[in-house]
Structure 1
Amino acid sequence: MSLIDFSSDAFIVAFFLYCFAFMFYVIAIAGKKWSNRDSLQHEKRWGRIAFITSNVGLASHLTFFFTRWAGSGQIPTSNMYEFMTFLGMSIMIAFTIIFAIYRKPLLGMFALPLTVIIIAYAAVFPQEVQPLIPALDSIWLKIHVTTAALGEAFFAIGFAAGLMYLLRVVDFNGKTKAARRSQFWVEFSLYTIIVIVGFIIAVFAFRGMGYEAQFIQEQSKIDSRGTETSTTDTVTYTLPPIVKPYNSEVVTVDSFLGMDKPVLEAPYWMNGVNAGRKLNTVVWSIIAGTILYGLLRLVFRKPLGAVIHPVMEGIDPEDLDEISYRSIAIGFPIFTLGALIFAMIWAEIAWGRFWGWDPKEVWALITWLYYSAYLHFRLSRGWQGRRSAWLAVIGFVIVLFTLIGVNLVIAGLHSYSGT
């Protein structure tokens, strides 16, 4: 067995251990209500079991990382699969540090699912080792990417604690306008997470079915001299084509539920080779996520926030507020070093300039400015509680767009990250 194969096995082990750890955290928190013994002892015992299990999962995840590095001869952070798996591992490292400080098992109920979703999302992408392009073949790749991801991991823990705070303090029985507004936005946050889960389910379901559709797309390009040239590309879908590429013809389309041809065509301004496919993926993510959300609502017969809220009873919201703030305060200087300072040094070496207004650079700066504003409002204006929690939640949405939206949708020098 090669090191690459061994690393893949270690990755699968880590994934299932994280799932088991999450279930143990649920037992620690939700199960204490039905425990015949002292509820505090129940929480401590199962919380300890969950923490040990998550640490064993992290050890397996680290084994995956270093054996893949040794087997490929390059640090495994050069494409979306490798980077997202590293981000998931970083979130577990950040969670372990924060848990060791505050000893709150409830945090595991939210941090572990976030890790599971991210590494499941990573598994959607091609897992083959890809050779580094020249711009990536530098020690600054190791420094820049790893520190940026670790900073984002602490932001993720801040997001988890912030969302927990909102689920704890929002009155889901309130009928006032303010209460309904808070209920809606908390529910929308949960719905957004479920849309990502829906995307993962849809991709793996159709991949298991072996679904495929192919199109031939013609594109016109104008070079620097003003000469127009036409190119023909083959675009392959692995999800049923609700939206086909702009200016394309069908080659083959597998029938699905009677749908044997595209419903719509991508708009003219989305004329990149993969633009239509990505738009189609977004549409399917929303469809799958909405169906999953609807099924959960049907099962519980109430908003998901109202389902989770009773679990939060007895938790001091000030502890959650403190955890969210401390996580972001730890992550901010790490992110500053990795995503800005080290990134600029690497950009100067790779492309001969510190700054070039590349989309990824711009959104990294936006993320940094946002969290700078968060810390300013927190420390100078006394924004705590709900305001701080909402800022933490919105901030991680910006991080996700920087990671997913910019890498996979917006073309730029960092587009290789989405291959």
Structure 2
Amino acid sequence: MSLLDFSSDVFLAAFFLYCFAFLFYMIAIAGKQWSNRDPQKHEKKWGKIAFIVSSLGLTAHLTFFFTRWIGGGQIPTSNMYEFMTFLGMAIMIAYTIVYLIYRKPLLGMFALPLTVIIIGYASVFPQEVQPLIPALDSIWLKVHVTTAALGEAFFAVGFAAGLMYLLRVTDYNDKSKQARRAQFWVEFTLYSITVIVGFIIVVFAFRAVGYEADFTREKAVVDAKGVVQTTVEEEHYTLPPIVKPYNSEVVAMQPFLGMEKPLFQAPDWMNGVSAGRKLNTVIWSIIAGTILYGLLRLAFRRRLGAVIHPVMDGIDPDDLDEISYRAIAIGFPIFTLGALIFAMIWAEIAWGRFWGWDPKEVWALITWLFYSAYLHFRLSRGWQGRPSAWLAVIGFVIVLFTLIGVNLIIAGLHSYAGV
């Protein structure tokens, strides 16, 4: 067995250990309501077991990271698969640190699913070790990417605690207009999470059955001399094409539920790299996430927030508010170093300028400014509780767009990360 094969095996082990740890956290928190023993002893016992299992998962994850580094000959953070797996590992490191400070097992019930979702999302991308392009072949790749991801990991823990706070304080028995608005936005946040899970499920489902569809499209390109040349591009789908690329022809397509051709084509203004395929993926994610959300609503016969809310009984919301703030306060200086200072140094070395208004640079700055505002409002204006929690949730949405949306949707110098 090669070192890379061993690395893949321990990564799979880490994934299952995280899943088991989540189940044990569920038993620790939700199970104490039905325990015949002292609820506090029940939570402490199962919380300890869950933390041990999650720590074993983190150990396996660290083993994956270093064995892939040694086997591949380069730090495994150079493409979307490697970076997202590293982010999942960083979230577990951040969670472990915060857990050791506050000793709150409830946090694991939300941090572990977030890690599992990110790892599942990472597994959608090609897993082969890809050679570094020249701009990435630098020591600054290690310090920039790892510190930026670690800062984002603490933001993720802050997001988890902030969402828990909102679920704790939202009154699902209140029928006032303000209460219904709060219930709607909490539920929309949970629905958005199910859409991401739906994306992962639908990709793996169609990958398992080997679905494929291929298209070709002509594209006019003006060369340096002003001569218009026509090139033919190929586009490969692994999901049934509800949307085909603009001005394209079907080369091969497997029928799906009687659909033998795409329902419509992407609009002409959507002409970026693989724009049609990406729009098709978004549509499938929304369909799958909506179906999943509908099935959960049908099973529980209540909104998901109303299902989770009783689990929070007995939890001090001030503790959740404090955990969210502390996690973000720890992550902010780390993110500042990695995403701004080290990134600018690397940009000067790689491209000869500190700043170039590349989309990834712009969104990293937006993220930094948002969390700067969060800390300002928290410390200077006394924004605590619900406003602070919503800022923690919105901030991590911006982080996800910076990581995913910019890499996969907006073309720029950082687009290599989506290959």
TM-score normalised to structure 1 length: 0.99
Equivalent residue for 1:239?
239
Verify the 8 A CA contact 1:15 1:116 in the aligned structure 2: yes
Cα 1:224–1:381, aligned 2, differ >3 Å: closer, same or farther? farther
Change (3 A) 1:170 1:224: farther
Q: Which residue of 2 aligns with 1:131?
A: 131
2:418 corresponds in structure 1 to: 418
Q: Is contact 1:202-1:285 (8 Å) kept?
A: yes
Pairs within 5 Å for 1:23-38: 23-38=23-38
Instruction: Tell me the residue number matched to 2:405.
Output: 405
Please name the residue that 1:315 is paired with: 315
Q: Deviations over 1:75-123 (max 9, x none)?
A: 0000000000000000000000000000000000000000000000000
Residue 119 of structure 2 is aligned to residue 113 of structure 1: no
Query: In the comparison of the two structures, how many residue pairs are matched?
Result: 419
What residue ranges of structure 2 are gaps of 5+ in the alignment?
A: none
Question: Which position in structure 1 is the counterpart of 2:99?
Answer: 99
User: Which residue number in structure 2 is paired with residue 335 of structure 1?
Assistant: 335
CA distance in 2, matches of 1:221, 1:285: 32
1:269 is matched with 269
Task: Find the counterpart in structure 2 of residue 226 from structure 1.
Answer: 226
1:260 CA drift (Å): 1.1
Question: Residue 373 of structure 2 aligns with which residue?
Answer: 373
> Secondary structure at 1:241's aligned position in 2?
coil
Say whether 1:162 aligns with 2:162. Answer: yes
1:227 Cα shift?
A: 2.8
Equivalent residues of 1:216, 1:232 under 8 A apart: yes
Secondary structure of residue in 2 paired with 1:230: strand
Q: Which residue of 2 aligns with 1:353?
A: 353
Contact 1:213/1:236 (CA < 8 Å) preserved in 2? yes
Q: TM-score, normalised by structure 2?
A: 0.99
Aligned counterparts of 2:290 and 2:222: Cα–Cα separation in 1: 41
Separation (CA, whole Å) in 2 of partners of 1:194 and 1:321: 24
Are 2:39 and 1:39 equivalent residues in the alignment?
yes
> Cα offset for 1:231?
1.0
For 2:230, what is the secondary structure of its paired residue? strand
Q: CA RMSD in A?
A: 0.7
Q: Which runs of 5+ in 1 are unaligned?
A: none
- Give the conservation status (yes or no) of the 8 Å contact 1:219–1:271: no
| 8 Å Cα contact 1:151/1:335 also seen in 2 | yes
For 1:182 and 1:33, the matched residues in 2 are separated by 26
Shift of 1:222: 2.5
CA deviation map 1:116-148 (0-9, x unaligned)? 000000000000000000000000000000000
Instruction: Answer yes or no: is the 8 Å Cα contact 1:235–1:273 preserved in 2.
Output: no
CA deviation after TM superposition for structure 1 residue 225, in Å: 4.2
Q: Please say which of residues 268-277 and 130-139 is displaced more in the overlay.
A: 268-277
| Contact 1:233–1:273, Cα closer than 8 Å, also in 2 | no
Residue type at the aligned position of 1:22: F
- The residue type paired with residue 236 of structure 1 is H
| Secondary structure at 2:322 match in 1 | helix
Residues in 2 aligned to 1:79 and 1:177: alpha-carbon distance in whole angstroms: 46
Percentage identity across aligned positions?
Answer: 81
Cα offset, 1:221, TM superposition? 2.0
